[in-house]
Structure formats: C-alpha cells, structure tokens
Amino acid sequence: MKKIILLGPPGAGKGTQADKICQTLNIPKISTGDMLREAIASGNELGERVDQIMKSGALVSDDIILELILDRTTKNDCANGYLFDGVPRTLGQANLFDQNNILFTHVLELQVENEQIINRMSGRRWHPGSGRTYHITFNPPKNEGIDDETGEPLIQRDDDLPETVKKRLDVYHQETKPLVDFYSNKSSESDLVYATVNGDQSVDDVFQEIQNHI
C-alpha cells in the first residue's frame, strides 16, 4: 500500500505528476481544496461548519483538516493507498497527522530552481473568454499576444506576474523547509522513504525518476 505526500513549489508540475502517479497506482489524489468542497456539498454538520468558516474569510483550523482527512482516508477508494497533494502544509499539521496515526510510506519533493519557475509562470498567457492558455516560449500563439481562435488579445494574470510568483515561492519555502526537515529526519529512523526529484526535466523523465522511488 502506497501512502504518498507530494511536495513541490507552485509551477513545479506537481499536478501533472500527481495525476500520473494516481493513474499508475490506482489511488486517489487527496487535496485540502477538494475535501473542503466535498464537505460543503455534503451538507452534513462538518460541512456546515466549514462553509461558515470559509464564508467568514477565516482559515480552516488544523483540527477540522484532520477530521476531514480521517474521514476521507477510510473511503473504499483508499484501499490501495492515497496521494496527498498540498497537505500537510505546516509542521503543525504534520505533527497532528503523526499523533493520529495518519502515516505515509513516501514523501517526494519536486525541486525546481526559483528562477526556472518564475520563467515558466511569468511566460503564461491566458484568453479570458475561453480559458485557453499559452506560453510565450513553450506553447506560443501564432501571433504574439493574440488568441489563435478568436483573434482577441491575451492577458497575463496577476498570479503569473514575476513579483507575485516570487512572493508565492518565498511563502512556499518558508512553510515547507520545516516539513522537509521533519520527514527527512523521520526517514532516517523509520521505513518512510523521503526523496528529492529533479523537476527541471521533461514530464516523462520526472515521472520515471518518481517511479524509481516508489
């Protein structure tokens, strides 16, 4: 049974790799966002609490995240294991999972240089009407700044501006460094596999490296 945490900065290709791992191992991808949406949609008592917290603009507490995870990991589709994407986010959550016997077999960290991620993300261009995305280097439109199908202008989203990307990366590294230390130390004293993966390769090469670890 594989119970995997996938860590990696925004823009590292984590979503793509998570999908490939889940398809190969036939396990579900579990993310905080999905769990919160499912809880609200269920309309149960926990879902109503989550809904009220999110509507108030407050952060959902670690205790509620734990409750959601304990419920989610007992579902039938988790029989072969599961992959956590974007959770745990903090050392506090990692300790809480540990105390409640939510254990993992693998922690994989996708590593990509900040400069490379800023180039990847700041090169994205978006057509608001259709949601079509381009990249000025890897997937450029036929005419610069223009959507191929409509001829309408493309925009750069605020999230993809270099200074915004840099701030997001700073927050990620600040949050993740203690997690990396926690799981790295844990791997030296248990069966947990902690591994870094070079995310600055083709999608297939990154996945091959991941498969070597799992």
- Bridge pairing between strands 2-7 and 106-111: parallel
Q: Which DSSP string corresponds to the chain?
A: -EEEEEE--TTSSHHHHHHHHHHHHT--EEEHHHHHHHHHHHTSHHHHHHHHHHHHTPPPPHHHHHHHHHHHTTSGGGTTEEEEES---SHHHHHHHHHTT---SEEEEEE--HHHHHHHHHTEEE-TTT--EEETTTB--SSTTB-TTT-PBPB--GGGSHHHHHHHHHHHHHHHHHHHHHHHHHHHSSS-EEEEEE-SS-HHHHHHHHHHH-
> Considering only CA atoms, which of 16, 43, 48 is closest in space to residue 29?
16
Task: Catalogue the active-site residues.
Answer: 14, 89, 124, 157, 168
Contact in structure between 206 and 198 (CB atoms under 8 Å): yes
